[in-house]
Every structure is written in C-alpha cells, then in structure tokens.
Amino acid sequence: MIRDITIGQYYPVDSKIHRLDPRTKILLTFAYIIALFLVDTVWGYLGVMLSLALAIKISKVPLKYMLKGLKSIVFILLFTVVLNIFFTPGEHIILEWGFLKVTWEGILFAVEMGTRLILLIVGSSLLTLTTSPIQLTDGIESLLMPFTKIHVPAHEIAMMMSISLRFIPILLEETDKIMKAQTARGADFETGNIMQRAKAMIPIMVPLFISAFRRAEELAMAMEARCYQGGKGRTRMNKLQYSGRDYIAFGCGVAYIVMCIIL
C-alpha cells in the first residue's frame, strides 16, 4: 500500500506536457478542478474523462502507474460513498432500516461524489507527475509574485509547498523501512479488526514522527549554513518563459471549460 502512493512523485519522461511552463500546468489544473465541480450531467463527466484521458496520453505517464495511486484512497472513497448513500435525503426510498434510509437520489449522489473524487485525485496527480519540484516551486512563486505588494511571502509559501511535496516520497520510503523492520520483529499489520490494526500502527507512527522532525531540523540547519534568506534578492538559473505551446495549452484549457459548461 505504501508503494502505491504516487502523490508528490515526479515521473521523468520527455513529453509535450512535461515541456510546458509550470505556471501553465498549475493554472490548467485549477481550471480542471473548477470545471470538475461545475459539471453535473453524464455528458459533462464523459467530457471530463475524455479530456483527462487525452492529457494522460500526451503526458506519456502509464495509466497503470496513475491508477495505482488510487489504492491509497480506497478507504476514503468507500467511506464517502457509503456516507452519501445512507445520509442523502430523497423521495424515492429503496431501503429503510431505523434512521438509515437508502434512496435513489442518495445512490446517484454517491456515485457522482465517488467519480469526482477519483477524477480529482488522478487529475491533480498529473501535475506533480509531470512537473519537477524545482519547476513547481518556481511556478507557484511566479504566480504569487503579484501578491507580494500586500506583503504575501510568495517565495516562502512556494518553498514550503515544494518541500512538503518532496518529503512525501521520502516519508513513504521511511515508513516502508519501519514496517519491514517491525514485521521482522514479529509485528502483524495484516490481521485483526480495525482497532487492532490501528494499535499495530503505533510502533510505526512514533519512529516516523521522530524521523520526520530530525529530517526537518537537518534541512533547516543546512539552509542556515548556506545563508538562506528567503526570496529577497534571489536569482534563478533557469528563468520561466512562455512559448507557443503554452498559449496553445491555454486555448485548449479555455475550450475545455466552455465545453464543460455547455455539457
């Protein structure tokens, strides 16, 4: 399960989406999320799925690799679907048991929310899979730069988000090592009920938190040793610059939003 989490990981391959400006990909991702919550018809969701499938095809990221990341949210997905089925009011009651009611409207709403959650995770992960942490930091900082006039720390915010994304695969690898070490000592994480499995995770969480704090302290000391002072007066080796393919991607994004609204 730990190895199946793909959020925050970068998939290095040469594709047209990888070569896009990071600001373009960030804005298009926001447009995708907004359009995803605008659609409420079958044709609208089919349009979103078609657009996402086309983007995945162009990115050259294997579909199996992207879908592998959904294994880590199966519990959240099932919990959301079940919660909406039993607690969404409706007129057409299919099953009633005490205060729990299963309605046709609840089933439709649960399917809609489950579909949205899957499309949201897959579409958002496409951004991190096709954008390196350095490019993502530069893109976020550039987009937040106009807000520095009202004293918004654009560089610091971008740096924190980049470090957070970069630490995800590191912590996952650390968790995998701790689980293997605990399993070698006789720990059992696969059997038992939910409470027993939750108690079995305590020997993992304690050393994981200690390791995370130690890594954060080492990173802070390394930045201080290099006289890191934030974004003031800093320059970049590779400056961001829009190209023709970025404007084409913007045009496709506008057409996509219009299509979702129409559908």
Q: Write out the two tokens for 112.
A: 């809609």
Task: Name the average pLDDT for the chain.
Answer: 80
From residue 125, how far is each of 69, 108, 194, 201 by CA, in Å?
9, 26, 29, 26
pLDDT at position 43 over 70:
yes
**Whole-angstrom Cα distance, residue 125 to residue 252?**
19
In the chain, what percentage of residues exceed pLDDT 90? Answer: 0
pLDDT of residue 14: 86
**Whole-angstrom Cα distance, residue 73 to residue 212?**
22
Radius of gyration of the chain measured on its C-alpha atoms:
22
What does pTM read for this prediction? Answer: 0.74
The alpha-helical segments, DSSP class H, found in the chain are 22-38, 42-59, 63-68, 74-87, 104-130, 133-144, 154-184, 194-200, 202-225, 244-262
The residue among 90, 91, 92, 82 whose CA lies nearest residue 113 is 82
